[in-house]
Amino acid sequence: MSTRARRPRLLLTLAAALSLTALGPAVGSAGAADAGLQEVMFVGNNWDGTADVIHSSGTYAKIGSVNVVPDKAQRMAEINADPIKWIYFQAIRNSVGEGHDQFVDDMYATPDGKSMVVSRPSFADVVSLDLTTGRINWRFPVEGYRADHMAVSADGTRVAVSASTANKVHVLDITTGKQLGQFATGDKPHENIFTKDGKYIWNMSIGDVNTALDDPIWDWTKGDRHITVVDATTFKQVKVIDMRQRLDAFGLKDYSDAVRPAVFSPDESKFYFQVSFFNGLFEYDVATDRITRMKTLPKNSSTSDDRTTMVNDSRHHGLSMSPSGDKLCVAGTMDDYATVVDRATLQEGPLVTASKPYWATVGGDGKDCVISESGADQVTAIDFATGQKRLSVPVGDHPQRVRLAHVPQGWTGVSGG
């Protein structure tokens, strides 16, 4: 087909564009140079409906917290009045929510540091919250019935959110909440990544993770899962990457092609990703459009290999990279550990015991991998250099996403909060 003939040239062009991108600021760091702002971390406590704000490095001590569902009564009244919305609300609670409501998935700060923008799965929306008053600045209902992972552009002005039941991504102006565009994805869009130059958005769709048809022979029932790459200005599709084909070529026909958390190398020539049911990660070369390496990480002897026991199909869910690009940090969710992996050799370091670690990011000074321990209600810092745990700090109920952000100097919480 002519599209296949064009693909190598397109991939090489894209890879060249990515490799020319200078190292940009860390995700969520827009506005760092602005006077009057301090760098922090937002920790989304999914079941609480709160976001803790902690120092971005050092002690990671708590600074304050934000109620991300100040309109809970109003939203619940709307849901209870609409039978279809009520059915989806209950389905979210009893499937991906593990019996709990999902009130905060992802969070970012606006460039001026005055507001927090939050995706709220159970309420199928994105809201902007004033960090002084705690009030809602704007609300954007996503299409369908559930909001999921977000991503922010390097300049901090645009936020992309997955509308997981509508199979599309909305891109919003982070200050006004106005939709700038949208694009179609595979089934159940999940992770989003802006390239550092702001030219492209990568979306990973994970398909249906809530059925018990987890055996490889039933993999086809999970839906259409692929990576969608779009132009971040026109929202036109640039390419589609079907990891099923790449995994098959690597000799892994029984592995899931549902791409979970992922991270680029600093020059964006390599793409590292996790997939459903797998205790490990893969390396994908952007220019050659193929999987180049895989790393299988240790199993916890007390963790069942029964795929139906893995929460939302994710055995390992959480991946970050040190700023220098020499270390990867992996959250081994169902195996109850996190570990730092040498990128050159793919050799793992010490297995740091952790309770259902659900996310991995990088501390503000770049020295630590920071994981959320959703089973212990804490975040834990692991030294990239040694692979050893430094400390843990308590947060709210079921922390998941952890993001760098900026808030006004001296901020200690919303008024009355």
Residue 124 lies in a domain: yes
Q: What is the CATH number of the domain that holds 261?
A: 2.130.10.10
Whether 153 has a pLDDT exceeding 90, the answer reads yes
As a whole number, mean pLDDT of residues 247-264 equals 96
Q: Are 93 and 123 in contact (CB under 8 A)?
A: no
Per residue in 343-397, pLDDT tens?
999 999 999 999 999 999 999 999 999 999 999 999 999 999 999 999 999 999 9
pTM above 0.85, yes or no: yes
- Residue 180 has which token pair? 């700038």
Per residue in 104-145, pLDDT tens?
999 999 999 999 999 999 999 999 999 999 999 999 999 999
Whether 214 has a pLDDT exceeding 80, the answer reads yes
Provide the pLDDT confidence category of residue 196 given band limits of 50, 70 and 90: very high
Whether 57 has a pLDDT exceeding 50, the answer reads yes
Helices (H), 111-242: none
With CA atoms as reference, report the closest residue to 149 among 108, 91, 196, 111. Answer: 108
Average confidence score pLDDT of the chain: 92
Per residue in 61-94, pLDDT tens?
999 999 999 999 999 999 999 999 999 999 999 9
Percent of the chain topping pLDDT 90 = 88
Residue 415 lies in a domain: no
Residue 416 lies in a domain: no
> For residue 267, what pLDDT is reported?
97
What's the rounded Cα separation, in Å, for the pair 83 and 147? Answer: 19
Whether 159 has a pLDDT exceeding 90, the answer reads yes
Percent of the chain topping pLDDT 70 = 91
Domains in the chain: how many in total? 1
With CA atoms as reference, report the closest residue to 337 among 350, 321, 327, 320. Answer: 350
Whether 303 has a pLDDT exceeding 50, the answer reads yes
Integer CA distances (angstroms), 150 to 40, 157, 159, 224, 334, in order? 18, 13, 7, 20, 23
Render 250-279 in DSSP notation, one character per residue: TT-TTS---EEEEEE-TTSSEEEEEETT-S
Whether 43 has a pLDDT exceeding 50, the answer reads yes
Return phi, psi of residue 311, to 5°: -60, 120
What's the rounded Cα separation, in Å, for the pair 159 and 204? Answer: 16
Q: Are 354 and 376 in contact (CB under 8 A)?
A: yes
Residue 185 lies in a domain: yes
> For residue 362, what pLDDT is reported?
98
Give the residue numbers spanning the domain of 19.
2-408
Say which residue, 190 or 2, is predicted with more confidence: 190
Render 69-124 in DSSP notation, one character per residue: -TTHHHHHHHHHT-HHHHHHHHHHHHTTTTTS----SEEEE-TTSSEEEEEEGGGT
Residue 414 lies in a domain: no
> For residue 96, what pLDDT is reported?
87
Instruction: Collapse the DSSP code of 42 into the 3-class scheme (helix H, G, I; strand E, B; otherwise coil) and give the result.
Output: strand
Residue 413 lies in a domain: no
Residue 43 lies in a domain: yes
Residue 164 lies in a domain: yes
What's the rounded Cα separation, in Å, for the pair 193 and 261? Answer: 10
